[in-house]
Amino acid sequence: MSVSISSVTFEHHREALGIGESTPRISWRFDGDAEKWTQKSYNISIERPKSEESYAPRSVFTVESEGSVLVPWPSRALKSRERAYIRAQATGADETTTEWSEKVAVEAGLLNREDWTAKMIAAEKVVNTNKSLRPALFRKAFEVGEKIRSARLYITAHGVYEAFINGKKVGDHVLAPGWTSYKHRLTYQTYDVTSLLAEGENAIGVEVGEGWYCGRLGFNGGNRFIYGDRLAVLAQLEVVFESGQILTVASDDTWKSSFGPTRSSELYDGETYDASLEVLGWNSSSFKDEHWSAVELLEFPKAQLLAPEGPPIRKMETLKPKEIFRSPSNKVIVDFGQNLVGWVRLRVSGPKGHQITLTHTEVLEHGEVATRPLRSCKAMDTLILSGTEISWEPKFTFHGFRYVQIDNWPSDTGAPAAEDLEAIVIYTDMEPTGWFETSEPMVNQLHQNITWGMRGNFVGIPTDCPQRDERLGWTGDIQVFAPTANYLYNTSGMLSSWLKDLSHEQIRDYEGVVPQVVPNVIAQILNKPQAVWGDVAVITPWTMYNSFGDTQFLINQYESMTSWLSAIPRAPNSLLWDETTHQLGDWLDPSAPPSEPAKGRTDPHFIANAYLTHITSLLYTISALLKKPEDEQLKYKQQAAKLKEEFTNNYITPSGRLAPDTMTSLSLALSFSLFPSAEKAQYAGARLATLVRSSRFRIATGFVGTPLVCPTLTSTGNVQLAYRMLLEKKCPSWLYTVSMGATTMWERWDSMLPDGTINPGSMTSFNHYALGSVGDWLHGVVGGLSIEEEEGSGVGWKVVRFAPVPGGTLTRAKTRHLGPYGMISCEWRIEGGKFKMSIEVPPNSKGVVKIRERDGG
């Protein structure tokens, strides 16, 4: 029996090149089969290189602690650009010691503003007829006169960029630098470009498209140039020679700019590429740029210039066509078999000037590509041929699609061959951490749909949908989905960064009111205080703390939490919400009319006040955890008690009946412990069961109630009813979408009607993750894995609860989660009427097994 260290990481980075922390906390996971092994102490070895061949003496730091997640940096702080090599070793309570871990490099980026000598340079502003900015090319030739030891490129843009050195692409990021609240926070990327340089003549080139910085964003036509109307780049190449001398090639007024074959590239409308306009070798040293234009120097960014906290967006998968066919109107349609986010790469040849168009949609309607759900988004890529064969894919746009209509393909049949096309799948390159499967194929497909929906909507920020004229960071969506997301992938870096954007905009721009979308690009009239959506400021940092065990999430967001509570408008002489406020409520309750998604069964102010009571109580817990002043803790404790009293007086009858009496209201009040007595809560549990039966097990909840209805049925002794709802196939239900061929989660329970027509509402997406929030219940109850809340400190999966509850027609289930301490798994099956379970707990954590009788609920 043995224990080993499987990985060493820093802060919440998946990659540790160019990080923004000078004293990064260190974490390691364990592998091994030793029973009840706990760490007693650890050693950290730090080597700081004088050069790549000669290392400084190694320093070893020994700490008596069982901590292995986010332990303090034990040495002096890293300086800008400094690199160190880290290894970890752990000793157990039984005095066994692991081998040293593999050596892992960590390197600081440019930690101070004065580290930047580069200037922000802009290209000539060329506006297309569609009012978009034409992507621009930037270049600079330079000479390297010595042997190179190492080289780094630090770069960002106003827009989205691709960088090249000597004609080769730098890194594998796409849509860099991603989308942040550009007014406040702009990230730069660090690349190791040592292998791309050579002694002699060299050249750096950068192509920049408008992306989120300049492009059209938002619905109802949206707005352009929200952050600025100039495509610009900030680049600093630093070359260290073997002699120790340093060459810096920084963007300045000696750079040149021009335009290439990409005529336009918009996030919503797609890319137009004219191959006849290709500028061969533009990013190589031999290219002559005397006819290129001078660049214009812009003011250095006022926003914080930061290293990213989360991983970049990358090309993650490729899919081949599942089928190529003709529609009833004789259009050529390609089916990739999966609703995905990305674009199509194609190989084609044809006469010069021949134009091919690709129209991307998520579904078909009556056999034709369904473009109506895209609203004003064209989702169309156009390729104009040059007469020679070309392999092409867009680079500054993305689409949400399964189907592509291809018009004017240059072949005898007018259709491409399957080998001519492939779909490129993109999303933020988060570490996969969650897996789930059962004996029921449709449940497995549901879980796969949840996972694919998350992938497509985690493109830089957590968005609502990836296909139409929206793709925004709606706060309510991630608030309900974060527990599921944090299980499936390591979201810690990405969501930590997004929450900081939220805090900046809320506090600095909106007087404490949380915008409904972050980064905020919608009209001010839509950013009035909004329950559920605004409550992300309190609930999601708490979710992050529980998932990853990092108190810093709470510390970082505490001002945001308190500012939100202070900004909520209250009723006269009350702590409850002002009843004149507009509330979205249980958004997309299936009973709401297609054109009025906020008009569900449950009073929206009931929802707002249930959430307000909950987040106030939660803030009391957080303030106590952070050891805030006692009077501050007492304030939130007293407010929570007063709110619960007012909530009871307003919404709970003496018999325990709720007004309103819905699945959502009962699930909320029970989940948030709002009933004044156990008897009334017991009555509510029975009432919820009655409503579920009377609905014939069809779902009757929207964004608010859906994450809670199955957990509430489970906690009130009605888990078999939860299974019955899960397995229902008639609309509205989770498996209805599966029965209709869905490969992602839908925005509406009936985004597509049983006859194959699309919901008549103007807001209909086939890739929204909010209703996939049932995934948290699948993992915790069906699979049996959750964080133990009762036994000591379970946050960050330190103590794991193994408590599967079999039900329905399922005869087996298995789930795994790669947590901060290592791999956790729970697998159960029923054979010959006997329940059998096997579990896995990583070293330095522990598990608590709780088994309930199947028929006991």
Per-residue pLDDT at 326: 98
Per-residue pLDDT at 853: 65
Quick check: is 646 catalytic?
no
Radius of gyration of the chain (CA): 28
CA distance 570 to 576: 5
Residues of the chain with pLDDT under 50: 855-857
CATH of the domain at 806: 2.60.420.10
Comparing CA positions, the residue from 428, 402, 413 lying closest to residue 489 is 428
- Identify whether residues 773 and 791 lie together within a single domain: no
- Identify whether residues 486 and 382 lie together within a single domain: no
| DSSP-assigned letter for residue 220 | T
- Identify whether residues 690 and 544 lie together within a single domain: yes
User: Is 781:722 a contact under the CB 8 Å cutoff?
Assistant: yes
- Identify whether residues 100 and 246 lie together within a single domain: no
| Sequence-distant (≥ 6) Cβ neighbours of residue 105 within 8 angstroms | 16, 17, 83, 84, 85, 86
CATH of the domain at 44: 2.60.40.10
CA distance 158 to 227: 9
The catalytic residue among 470, 505, 728, 788 is: 470
* Domain finish residue from 279, 306, 333: 306
Domain that holds residue 148: 116-306
User: Is 730:714 a contact under the CB 8 Å cutoff?
Assistant: no
CA 433 to chain centre: 14
| DSSP-assigned letter for residue 667 | H
Reading the block at residue 179, the tokens are 């989308």
Sheet containing strand 200-209, strands side by side: 168-169, 160-165, 200-209, 136-144, 256-258, 293-294
Per-residue pLDDT at 56: 64
CA distance 160 to 398: 12
User: Is 286:112 a contact under the CB 8 Å cutoff?
Assistant: no
Per-residue pLDDT at 122: 98
Reading the block at residue 693, the tokens are 């039966």
* Domain finish residue from 77, 108, 139: 108
- Identify whether residues 809 and 764 lie together within a single domain: no
Per-residue pLDDT at 857: 38
CATH of the domain at 242: 2.60.120.260
Task: Please give the single-letter amino acid code of residue 503.
Answer: S
When divided into structural domains, the chain yields a total of: 5
- Identify whether residues 340 and 459 lie together within a single domain: no
Quick check: is 143 catalytic?
no
- Identify whether residues 103 and 20 lie together within a single domain: yes
Q: Where are the alpha helices (DSSP H) in 384-525?
A: 441-457, 475-488, 492-509
Reading the block at residue 565, the tokens are 């509570």
Reading the block at residue 329, the tokens are 């109107």
DSSP string, 745-789: --SSTTSB-TTSPBPSSS---S---GGGGGHHHIIIIIS-EEE-S
Per-residue pLDDT at 791: 62
Reading the block at residue 72, the tokens are 């303090």
- Identify whether residues 680 and 691 lie together within a single domain: yes
- Identify whether residues 407 and 301 lie together within a single domain: no
Helix (H, G, I), strand (E, B) or coil at 204: strand
- Secondary structure E strands in 59-172: 59-64, 83-92, 104-108, 120-122, 136-144, 148-158, 160-165, 168-169
- Identify whether residues 485 and 616 lie together within a single domain: yes
Other CB atoms within a 10 A radius of the CB of residue 430 amount to 22
* Domain finish residue from 306, 331, 352: 306
- Identify whether residues 194 and 343 lie together within a single domain: no
β-strands 461-462, 390-392 pairing:
unpaired
Against a cut of 0.95, is the pTM above it? yes
- Identify whether residues 724 and 847 lie together within a single domain: no
The catalytic residue among 11, 422, 728, 747 is: 747
- Let me know if 389 is exposed, middle or buried by CB neighbors in 10 A (0-12, 13-18, 19+): exposed
Sheet containing strand 812-819, strands side by side: 434-438, 812-819, 822-831, 834-840
Per-residue pLDDT at 855: 47
Q: Is 707 left (phi over 0), alpha (psi -120 to 50) or beta?
A: alpha
